[in-house]
Structure 1
Amino acid sequence: MARNLAIGLMTVGLLMGSIARAASAADTTKIVLIAGRPSHGPGDHEFNAGCKLLAKCLAQKPGIEPVVVTGGWPKDESVFEGAKALIFFMDGGGGHPMIQGDHIEKLQALAAKGVGIACLHYAVEVPKGQPGDKFLDWIGGYYETGFSTNPHWIADVKALPKHPITAGVEPFAVRDEWYFNIRFRPEMKGITPILIAKPDDETRKGVSASPRGPYQHILDSKGRDEVIAWAVERPDGGRGFGFTGGHAHKNFGDPNFRKLVLNAILWTAGLDVPDGGFDSKVTAGELTENLDPK
């Protein structure tokens, strides 16, 4: 009888442990950060280092399980299972990993389940047509070649809207390759501008090679405010975020720049952002970790 009691207690213990692990998993929010392949010169487009740095910060918050995928689209797509948000930081354009093969259909299936999607810097660029239309659905806007433009300039963000993504973020000025004249949904339907800045006249005169032709007059609109980061809540219950900065890896060392991106990742995953925003500290040494050999 004693032996049966011991076995029974052991079984109960195992069952309770299993329940505890299941409860713990249910309380954990999985966020997958997908880093593109190396591109550009040292210190620029450091997708690997950027994703790992953001993941290191996210891991400091209990209940978050950040998972980093390097080298572009994951070879093992099971990594997407259970994810609440997918953060893409990679080269875009016609070779964008998000639009190759059946990837659009796979992402659409995840979005339909309410999975959040965020694209950082070059990852917001896709060709117009089906890819662009899907980005309008997923994140509300995209960089359209020949329409949008990509100069390097100091975005002086003088004010921020009241939104969970801007919690604890102070106005800042950072030089980066801030894209603007983004192709947004008609009438900005469902879109909340998060970062707005005004390019100076020199930037508008043609620092960038595009656009030209029929859209040049848009660049010449002196004094016009430009949306350089935005958020959207989708009808499927998911959330989307677009951020045009991130060309220069060193900018993640700016506390407001970094906090805004971390806040956005939490928000995109459907999590509550702390009143003061996501606090994190990054040292100069940490900014040199995981840089691609270039």
Structure 2
Amino acid sequence: MSIRAIIGFLFAVALWSGLQPAATSAVEPRRLLLLSQGPDGHPVTTHEYVAGQQILARLLRDVPDLLITQVKADVDWKDGPAVLDKTDHCVLFVSEGAKWVNSDPARREAFRRLAGRKGGLSVLHWGMGTKEAENIDVFVQLFGACHGGPDRKYKVLEAQCTPASDHPATAGMQPFKQKDEFYYAFKQDPNQELKSLLTARIDDREEMIAWAWQRKDGGRSFGFSGLHFHANWKQPEYQRLVAQSVLWTTQLPQPKEFPAKLTDADFQLPDSPKK
């Protein structure tokens, strides 16, 4: 073969290679849905669901193979079941979430289908709540525990908080003090074994305020009762707990540099004046 022919052949191979699609990740991207709502009557800087989910999205932004979508689930949220059917994992940060899940049969069944697909289910603060006891059981079977019923327990105080030492969701965490409105003494199914991730010292007792649950369907659930105050997102241990726990529910590996670092601007409320 002549030199000219060899050069022509190599050029053709290079051109053909350049037209081929780039190699894709061997891991199928996981779709994470962050559900929030607008103001629910609590004072500004508390129950800031939308702003809180924005912070969580930023904490998780560098996780490979994770596609994050934030959606406001206000009013009837009629397209909700269809949205839930297109996601792999969900974080619920809404008002009286246990009632919200159970009040719409189509929505309730969509959450059950998500759990049946081994989906991750996470819930924050009032997202695990219900004033009426009738909503407790459905929520417990999905998320593991519920802050529900007229006898539900909660208290605003500065508490000593202690993370679990033997779970990936609390890796790298140290004991700390924090003021919050903590829910505790949750309603649970005695046949479901929850892993306590974080306890708070309340009335001279260690009370579980965050949990992880490896469900029998193969999926994972996580709950954290703190974050009444929006400013508490600035607590580094809170950031690590929530980000690592939500990532644990997705069953993706934890990156070496995690969670992502935040700036002061990340904590500002949408309507706050820019500094």
- TM class by shorter-chain length? 0.7 to 0.9
Correspondent of 2:254 among 273, 288, 292: 273
Asked if 1:193 corresponds to 2:196, the answer is yes
Taking the TM superposition and a 5 Å limit, the aligned residue runs for 1:22-61 are 23-24=24-25, 26-39=27-40, 40-61=42-63
Q: Equivalent of 1:89, from 80, 86, 93?
A: 93
After TM superposition, give the deviation of residue 52 of structure 1 in Å: 1.0
Q: Which residue of 1 aligns with 2:265?
A: 285
Cα deviation 1:95-144 (Å, max 9, x = unaligned):
52564242111110111111111110001113433x32222221211012
CA distance in 2, matches of 1:74, 1:55: 24
1:128 partner amino acid: A
8 Å contact from structure 1 (residues 31, 66) kept in 2: yes
Find the residue that maps to 1:178 and give its secondary structure: strand
Counterparts of 1:180 and 1:117, CA distance in 2:
19
Tell me whether 1:240 sits opposite 2:243 in the alignment. no
Q: Relative CO higher for 1 or 2, CA cutoff 8 Å, sep ≥ 6?
A: 1
Contact map agreement 2:212 2:220 (CA 8 A) in 1: yes
In the superposition, relative to structure 1, how do residues 240 and 150 fare at CA in structure 2: closer, same or farther (>3 Å)? same
**Do 1:32 and 1:86's aligned partners in 2 also have CA atoms closer than 8 Å?**
yes
Equivalences for residues 89-168 of structure 1 within 5 A: 89-92=93-96, 95-97=99-101, 99-126=103-130, 127-129=132-134, 131-168=135-172
Please tell me the residue identity of whatever aligns with 1:239: R
Q: Which amino acid aligns with 1:195?
A: L
Q: How many pairs were matched up?
A: 257
Whether the 8 Å CA contact 1:49–1:292 is kept in 2: the answer is no
Task: Work out the CA distance in 1 between the residues paired with 2:27 and 2:80.
Answer: 22
The CA deviation string for residues 32-64 of structure 1, in whole angstroms up to 9 with x for no partner, is 100122221211111111111111221122222
4+ long deviations beyond 3 Å: 23-27, 71-82
Deviations 1:18-41 (A, max 9, x none): x84xx4495322211001222212
SS in 1 for 2:232: helix
Deviation at 1:93, TM superposition (A): 5.9
Q: Secondary structure at the match of 2:154?
A: coil
Task: Give the TM-score normalised by structure 1.
Answer: 0.78
RMSD: 2.8
Deviates more, 1:235-244 or 1:158-167: 158-167
Q: Which runs of 5+ in 2 are unaligned?
A: 1-11
Q: How far, CA to CA, are the matches of 2:184 and 2:52 in structure 1? A: 22
SS in structure 1 of the partner of residue 270 of structure 2: coil
Which amino acid in structure 1 is aligned with residue 36 of structure 2? Answer: A
Q: How far apart in 2 are the matches of 1:151 and 1:74? A: 35
Contact 1:111 1:238 in 2 (8 A): yes
Between the aligned partners of 1:268 and 1:291, the Cα distance in structure 2 is 32
Given the superposition, is the C-alpha separation of residues 190 and 158 from structure 1 closer, same or farther in structure 2, using an over 3 Å criterion?
closer
Paired AA for residue 116 in structure 1: G
Identity of counterpart residues, as a percentage? 30
Mapped partners of 1:89, 1:273: distance in 2: 23
- Secondary structure, aligned partner of 2:34: strand
Distance 1:47 1:268 in 2: 20
Higher share in strand: 2
Alpha-carbon separation, structure 2, partners of 1:105 and 1:257? 31
SS at match of 1:107: helix
Q: Cα gap change, 1:190/1:274 in structure 2, threshold over 3 Å: closer, same or farther?
A: farther
| CA deviation string 1:253-289 (max 9, x = no partner) | 11111110000110011122357x8333222221004
Letter in 2 for 1:283: T
- Residues 164 and 196 of structure 2 are in contact (CA less than 8 Å); yes or no, is this contact kept in structure 1? no
Name the aligned partner's letter for residue 133 of structure 2.
Answer: K
Question: Are the structure 2 counterparts of residues 41 and 236 from structure 1 closer, same or farther at C-alpha, using a change threshold of 3 Å?
Answer: same
What residue ranges of structure 1 are gaps of 5+ in the alignment? 1-5, 201-222
